[in-house]
């Protein structure tokens, strides 16, 4: 019995790590192609939306910011080499639209941004990540 309990204490954390690692990858979203060309107009529209809706948490340059609540982690850096929730345009779009759960440290924006506006934000993020 003691051996079973010991194995349970080892197996559960490993299972949790596997679920969390899998949750950060979204193969279906990764397949989605950006239908909005990254024109200067799209990037400018995305910048305006970013400044109004995203800048408060992610900072002016997209490098992240302080946590909204005490004890929370800071907002993700959107211009570094590490993408916590997928690096394809489709995964970025999915994250903006659906938020980051399970606690929703980033809330979903699907009911407040059109799909075109969301793609414009993706195009803007790509433009500042290149700098």
pLDDT tens profile 51-106? 999 998 898 999 887 766 666 778 888 888 877 788 899 999 999 999 988 877 88
pLDDT of residue 104: 79
What's the CA gap between 52 and 60, in Å, rounded?
A: 11
Mean pLDDT of the chain: 81
pLDDT of residue 103: 78
DSSP letters, 28-87, are HHHHPPP-S---HHHHHHHHHHHHHHTHHHH-TTSS----SSTTSPPPPPSSSS--TT-S
Kindly state whether residue 41 falls inside one of the protein's structural domains: yes
Kindly state whether residue 11 falls inside one of the protein's structural domains: no
Q: How far is CA 23 from CA 7, 104, 125, in A?
A: 24, 13, 22
| pLDDT average, residue stretch 19-43 | 80
What's the CA gap between 64 and 73, in Å, rounded?
A: 10
Tell me if 85 sits within 8 A of 24, measured CB to CB: yes
Q: Which domain holds residue 61?
A: 25-129
Kindly state whether residue 103 falls inside one of the protein's structural domains: yes
Instruction: Out of 33-37, 56-60, 68-72, 122-126, pick the least confident.
Output: 68-72
Kindly state whether residue 4 falls inside one of the protein's structural domains: no
Peptide bond into 36 cis (omega under 30): no
Rg (CA), the chain: 18
pLDDT-based confidence at residue 3 (cuts at 50, 70, 90): low
- Tally of structural domains, the chain: 1
pLDDT of residue 100: 87
Does residue 17 carry a pLDDT above 80? no
Kindly state whether residue 3 falls inside one of the protein's structural domains: no
The structure tokens listed for 95 are 């994250």
The structure tokens listed for 118 are 């969301």
């Amino acid at each position: 019995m003691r051996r079973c309990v010991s194995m349970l204490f080892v197996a559960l954390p490993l299972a949790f790590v596997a679920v969390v690692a899998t949750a950060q990858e979204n193969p279906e979203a990764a397949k989605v192609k950006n239908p909005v060309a990254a024109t200067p107009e799209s990037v400018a529209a995305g910048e305006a939306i970013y400044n109004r809706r995203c800048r408060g948490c992610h900072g002016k340059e997209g490098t992240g910011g302080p946590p909204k609540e005490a004890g929370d982690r800071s907002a993700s850096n959107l211009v570094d080499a590490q993408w916590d929730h997928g690096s394809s345009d489709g995964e970025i779009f999915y994250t903006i639209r659906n938020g980051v759960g399970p606690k929703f440290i980033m809330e979903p924006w699907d009911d407040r941004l059109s799909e075109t506006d969301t793609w414009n934000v993706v195009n803007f993020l790509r433009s500042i990540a290149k700098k």
